[in-house]
Amino acid sequence: GLPARVRIHEVGPRDGLQNEKALVPAAIKAEFIHRLAEAGLTTIEATSFVHPKWVPQLADAEELMRLIDDVDARLPVLVPNERGLDRALALGAREIAVFASATESFAKANLNRTVDGALEMFEPVVAKAKDAGVAVRGYLSMCFGDPWEGPVPISQTVSVSRRLLDMGCDEISLGDTIGVATPGHVRELLATLNEAGIADDRLAVHFHDTYGQALANTLTALQHGVTTVDASAGGLGGCPYAKSATGNLATEDLVWMLDGLGIETGVDIGRLTAASVWMARHLGRPSPSRTVRALSQK
Ligand code: HMG
Ligand code: MG
């Protein structure tokens, strides 16, 4: 069966923009987030409190947070360590995400840590956030394949998921960082997570569309019982520390499919498309989303 309602976790302003070489002014980012909220998105990942040298595009996190404090949506932010958490809490963040890796290669490239070292770095962050009443999402990258290590064993993904939940994460977002997942792999991973006692209601899926499988993978996850789906307006994205990562599943492609299935999201696809076209114009290149192109040519 399929769910009656899906919660879209919009990642465009963070996962989408983090990869853009040319710096986007904070005022433009803020307007993008306002437009996304007006289109009906209720969870919009706004930025990251990471080292500015690692992700220069998001070095304006403080300024941006002040420009969006009137937005009527959940505004989670990425936080890798206590330094990041303190910065986020000082700006009134009510939701954070830590970001682990299922593979050693990506833990090193993205966090300069081993898998275990990264989890140790997150532990006090999650504890302190929970004490402050802040919700915590745990991202898990490279759940399916890794550009250096190839296919990732399901047992590896399950064991790091378990550890993120055990340290107090409310939800795990299963990241197909480089977009190599296919529906059979998705089904097998979700079934194995369930067998390990991790229910679908603690899980979100985060697909990148490198091989054009993101929508098929998403539908497979929905049929399995997952109801939280990450997507990026206009299909913006990639990851600066994963070669061969392309954009996320485009939010418009997702909403087009869900609208057709009669699954509620609260999102107005016309307003959403207009927001992405506006952003694409600012970035100087058209959105890669087929739905955005089809709807904006009408
Ligand atoms: P490190 O170099 O090991 O840092 O990086 P460190 O702990 O040794 O500290 C070095 C310096 O950085 C110190 O300053 C710290 O104060 C400073 P110094 O004393 O040298 O002047 N520092 C900070 N400054 C500001 N904010 C902070 C912070 N932390 C330390 N939070 C670190 C370790 C984790 C900091 C670094 O690796 C980092 O920032 N990584 C972030 C990478 C990133 O953001 N990647 C993209 C997001 S993940 C993703 O996109 C995947 C996802 O979408 C899911 C999917 O698709 O799979 C989520
Ligand atoms: Mg991503």
| pLDDT of the residue at 245 | 63
The answer to whether the CB of 50 is under 6 A from ligand 1 is yes
pLDDT given for residue 242 in this prediction: 62
Concerning whether 239 is annotated as a catalytic residue, the answer is yes
How far does the centroid of ligand 1 lie from the alpha carbon of residue 111, in Å?
6
Mean pLDDT estimate for the chain: 96
Question: pLDDT (tens digit, 9 = 90+) per residue, 201-232?
Answer: 999 999 999 999 999 999 999 999 999 999 99
Cα separation of 251 and 254, whole Å?
5
Residue 33 CA to its chain's centroid (Å): 15
Neighbours of 147 (CB within 10 A): 17
| Contact by Cβ (8 Å): 4, 263 | yes
- Positions in the chain whose pLDDT score sits under 50: none
Task: Single out the residue of 236, 239, 246 nearest to residue 278, CA to CA.
Answer: 236
Sign of the dihedral through C-alpha 236, 12, 159, 110: positive
Q: For residue range 59-114, list pLDDT tens digits in order.
A: 999 999 999 999 999 999 999 999 999 999 999 999 999 999 999 999 999 999 99
Q: Tell me what pLDDT residue 240 has.
A: 61
Using the atom order of ligand 1, give the atom closest to the CA of residue 80: 34
51, 136, 230: residue to mutate for ligand 1 pocket, most atoms within 8 A of CB: 51
